[in-house]
Structure 1
Amino acid sequence: MPRSTQIRAKPVTAVTRRTVLKAGGTLLLSVLAPLPSHAAQILAVRVWPADDYTRVTLENDTNLKTNHFLVKDPDRLVVDIEGLELNPTLKELVAKIQSNDPYIKQVRVGQNRPNVVRLVFDLKEQVDPQVFTLAPVGEYKHRLIFDLYPVNAPDPIAALIRKGEWQDNPEQPAPIAAAMPEVQPAPEPIAPAKPATPELQLAKAESKDEKPLAITRMITIALDPGHGGEDPGAIGRSGSREKDVVLAIARRLKRKIEEHPNMRVMLTRDADYFVPLHVRVNKARKVQADLFVSIHADAFVETTARGSSVFVLSEKGASSTAARWLANKENAADLIGGVNIKTHDRQLASVLLDLSTTAQINDSLKLGKAVLAELGGINRLHKGAVEQAGFAVLKAPDIPSILVETAFISNPEEEAKLTDDAYQDQMAHAVLKGIRKYFAKNPPLAKNKMT
């Protein structure tokens, strides 16, 4: 009996040991073996074509790793995205490339290998691609950005020349009096005179208290419609987007300015795309702008906030808490719009933007007061005086610069105004009148071409 029991005990012990060893091995393998990775999900694809560059955005639920390279004959950009499976949203990218895109012919999308999606951009010309990621901000999740810049960047002055808006000699006298005439009271006509044209009536009204002007060169004005592209700006209750409203007003103002033979205009953006703040300033300097006017339609936490405002740069801090809040909000546009920090020379930009002078701010205040007075004729003013704060977009060291808040898009009544063609036209006309009155009292000095 004891022997029989002994014999049966051995296999039980052996089985137990094998079971424990197997269990331990399984546990060890489960710890060492990589867990199955969760494939990233593409949530949205967007394309922003412009003459400056084309941006392609892939919004996703996690940070993505990429490898990219260029291929010649024909020109192509190849991008491999790791940790990604092809999904219907990503396939939508193919249809989003339009025939009028300046730099992309088409894009092909495919599963190159397990967990790797390949994008092939067939290009219209050589590009200098910037591929980078953006951390979540605002309502955006993670974003993978492809910025396709042309190797031969467009020259803003060359663009104005093509449009017939730039003379070879910037000092060549121009008929400034035709744009801002000094109209003297005329004696009663002996014979019935022809009715005054609307333009002549406007000239009389605007020159009532102005002195004769002695300007012998063209005036260049940089208009800066705020936000654009990935950055919609403020959004009204009815869904109106600041970036659309201010571009419409800027286009109207551009047309009005160009009616005068001595004035020309450069838009920092003429379509729906993102322009970094320092690039807006640099664009104005490249065309030797005499003025810089940034156009906005902001929002506030209270929908009752209303009225138009004008801001200029401050060297010593904001003139009010609201002005500081607004400047901080506008300066965050680069984060929302998406700046490639790795290639952006922040130190150089900082040096440039710190060169703003007291003289520039004083001239900006004069321009701001002239424009604000005209805005008060068409809309209630949020503040009766020009305000100051540290707006990055106003820091051109040699250009009088103002930021115009046309109205509060967060106020339902003012949102309706901002989307009304007649009000947009009135707003553009008021800004133009302010600009003309500024130049009537502060004629621009002659200056040489900037190298």
Structure 2
Amino acid sequence: MGKYLNGSFCHRASRKLRGAALLLVCWPLWISSAMAGSSIEGARIWPAPDHTRLVFDTSTPVEHNIFALENPARLVIDISNANLAADFSTLDLSGTPIQRIRSAARNGSDLRVVLDLRSDVQPRSFQLDPNQSYGHRLVLDLLGSGAGTRTSEPVQPTLSDNGSGRRDIIVVVDAGHGGEDPGAIGPSGTREKDVVLRLARALAEKIESQPGYTARLTRDGDYYVDLRSRTLLARRHNADLFVSVHADAFRTSQPRGASVFALSQRGATSETARWLARSENRSDLIGGSGGVSLDGKDDTLAGVLLDLSMTASINASIGVGDYVLRNLEQVTRLHKSGVEQAAFVVLKSPDIPSILVEAGFISNPQEERNLGSANYRERLANAVFKGVEDYFNQTPPPGTLVAWQKRQSTGGTSHYQIRRGDTLSAVARDNRTTVRELMQYNGLSDDRVVVGQTIRIPAS
């Protein structure tokens, strides 16, 4: 067969045969190339609290089939036209539902991989195209596995430890990317997923250290959480605020500076349509810490409620984003001076104020070095938290310790000093009130304000 498929044989035959006969003689060369198939060149495993991700590096895209076997529990992955060039024995399987990985050739040209399992799992598989770090990949998610499997039941509010019976403000901090997704990579090889996890941990520590606040992380290790699950985690924790931390990148090294994003109106419109279209969402509560139910509402009323909730969420997001930018400006250059708006999936909670903080451009050599510094990340974390704290000091959620403390100190009224760039409408939006109410409360004849002017804010 080897001689028959030799290229020189095909060439010699072509001198004697013409037309279709030539194709028949040369066709086995194409078969030979296909038979070479794909190689499984490496493997990685990423344990997460609610799933385990197993990744096979493949030399080309592959066709595969997965099925489960019982007594004992096993998962079988048949990969067509493939061979094994990796050593599965080097994988650390601790903390995963996988007890052992076996493999063998099948049908002469296929590969069968068998996962001996400690417990039953729900498998999900898909393929990924090459990126900056990896080539073609076959990804297998084992759902319902992990040491801390998440449930859909909401977490009870955290009560402040001062005996007041009032709850903490809950901030969910989201470190972008993770696991198989490294995010952007800097000129010196710094990976976004590593930098933002350290920054998210630092921010969570700042939040936790402040009385009246509780922080929760969407991920606290090197594993991937899909984008929708991040917002669902915020809802499960009854979050008052969702902060997603990232590091920006550009094709050139010149751009630099931090940015803050809130959801755009286009993103809000598409998300409203998505919620109304999915029947399982109709019974969800709107309001991260409890609020309005869509259950039993007709489409028109449900749409109005969602629009109102989404608009309030976006306005609050822009408000907290403004405060964060003011404080970031004391630490680093700003890429844009105002809160930008985009249709990022992680910002699409219709009921939870959500911001995305780009801590800097990892593609800029100086900012890559800055983001790699623990001291610099600490300063960034301080600035973001100070912005969050400033916002909630102005508009604390009802029932929280911060709201109670504000009423105790002001007798139900707070004061705000107008800064450069402020408008009465922006102050009203940040404080969840109206321009008319502020004008009446302060005896103003119009909506004009001047820098340094102090106005009274009615209680939330």
TM-score, scaled relative to structure 2: 0.68
Which residue of 100, 107, 111 corresponds with 1:106?
Answer: 100
Name the aligned partner's letter for residue 58 of structure 1: F
User: Cα–Cα, structure 1 residues 40 and 216, in superposed 2: closer, same or farther, change >3 Å?
Assistant: same
CA RMSD of aligned residues (A): 3.5
Name the aligned partner's letter for residue 369 of structure 2: A
Shift of 1:151: 6.6
- 2:150 paired residue number: 155
Matching of residue 269 in structure 1 with residue 265 in structure 2 = no
- 2:110 paired residue number: 116
The aligned runs of 1:64-79 (5 Å cut-off) are 64-79=62-77
- 2:325 paired residue number: 372
Relative to its length, the structure with more strand (as a share) is 2
The CA distance in 1 between the partners of 2:178 and 2:394, in whole Å, is 34
Q: Deviations over 1:49-83 (max 9, x none)?
A: 11121111112232212222222233221212110
Partner of 1:297, secondary structure, is strand
- 2:293 paired residue number: none
Shift of 1:154: 2.1
Please tell me whether the aligned partners of residues 49 and 150 of structure 2 are also in contact (alpha carbons under 8 angstroms). Answer: no
Matching of residue 417 in structure 1 with residue 412 in structure 2 = no
- 2:90 paired residue number: 95
Shift of 1:432: 1.3
Which residue of 131, 142, 147 corresponds with 2:136?
Answer: 142
- 1:440 paired residue number: 393
Please tell me whether the aligned partners of residues 258 and 361 of structure 2 are also in contact (alpha carbons under 8 angstroms). Answer: yes
The aligned runs of 1:154-303 (5 Å cut-off) are 154-155=149-150, 170=157, 175=162, 216-303=166-253
- 2:31 paired residue number: 35
The CA distance in 2 between the partners of 1:386 and 1:367, in whole Å, is 9
Instruction: Give the unaligned 5+ runs of structure 2.
Output: 1-15, 269-274, 287-302, 401-460
The CA distance in 2 between the partners of 1:310 and 1:416, in whole Å, is 21
Instruction: Give the unaligned 5+ runs of structure 1.
Output: 1-21, 161-165, 178-214, 319-344
Q: Deviations over 1:79-98 (max 9, x none)?
A: 121101222xx22x331233
User: Cα–Cα, structure 1 residues 151 and 103, in superposed 2: closer, same or farther, change >3 Å?
Assistant: closer
User: Cα–Cα, structure 1 residues 394 and 150, in superposed 2: closer, same or farther, change >3 Å?
Assistant: same
Matching of residue 131 in structure 1 with residue 111 in structure 2 = no
Please tell me whether the aligned partners of residues 96 and 145 of structure 2 are also in contact (alpha carbons under 8 angstroms). Answer: no
Name the aligned partner's letter for residue 385 of structure 1: G
Please tell me whether the aligned partners of residues 97 and 106 of structure 1 are also in contact (alpha carbons under 8 angstroms). Answer: no
Q: Deviations over 1:33-60 (max 9, x none)?
A: 7823222123432221111211111122
User: Cα–Cα, structure 1 residues 286 and 380, in superposed 2: closer, same or farther, change >3 Å?
Assistant: same
User: Cα–Cα, structure 1 residues 156 and 261, in superposed 2: closer, same or farther, change >3 Å?
Assistant: farther
Q: Which has the larger radius of gyration?
A: 1
Matching of residue 391 in structure 1 with residue 344 in structure 2 = yes
Which residue of 387, 407, 427 corresponds with 2:360?
Answer: 407
Identity %: 43
User: Cα–Cα, structure 1 residues 302 and 176, in superposed 2: closer, same or farther, change >3 Å?
Assistant: farther
User: Cα–Cα, structure 1 residues 397 and 140, in superposed 2: closer, same or farther, change >3 Å?
Assistant: same
